[in-house]
Copies of this chain bind each other. A is one copy, B any other.
């Protein structure tokens, strides 16, 4: 009987609907200034109902982080699918894709930065957190595969460890923008990000 399937589908829909509401509220007023009653109101549910689907307020945030990572991943996948580029060009394109993500979805980007904070207030066993971690792994794996491709096609020097360097790149990308913003620099309109990307690619390149 398909009832169980329909029910689980509907449950998933409710979940999404709640995350949609949370996203709207959090993006509008900021996480700390939003209450679970606000979210419940936006989702047209009572507060108690939220807790049928999510254990804590932080878990809702982790779901938003998850969406942010999915966007980044999609961008990277598009880059990775383009057969015309060599490995180094791919890394460069991934960097640009990340910048584009930041420019078109600044709120998602901010959510990404708050990950650490929300993870803390969200049990380690949370399946939403698990999912987020998996997406992060996928991003690292995708970057690593680009690096390996570059090492194979000769565009990237072959004395690096693809896995470790992928971690490095992903960490660097995440840290760049906060550093810029902290100093009041305009990330979108400037060539700051472009320069940073140049520096990274120059470090990876097999040629000078």
Contact = CB atoms under 8 A, between A and B. Distances in A.
A179 interface: yes
A136 interface: yes
A123 interface: no
Interface in A104-122: 113-114, 116-117, 120-121
Contact of A200 (B192, B195, B203): B203
Instruction: Give the contact-size bracket for chain A.
Output: 35 or more
A208 B174 CA distance: 27
A190 to B, nearest CB: 8
A16 interface: no
A172 interface: yes
A14 to B, nearest CB: 28
Contact of A207 (B113, B116, B208): B208
Nearest to A159: B198
Interface in A142-191: 160-161, 164-165, 167-168, 170-180, 182-183, 185
A52 to B, nearest CB: 24
Contacts of A183: 136-137, 140, 167
- Nearest 8 CB-CB pairs, A to B? A175-B175, A171-B179, A203-B203, A208-B208, A168-B196, A172-B172, A202-B203, A199-B203
Given A167-B185, A171-B179, 4 more contacts: A168-B176, A172-B176, A174-B179, A207-B208
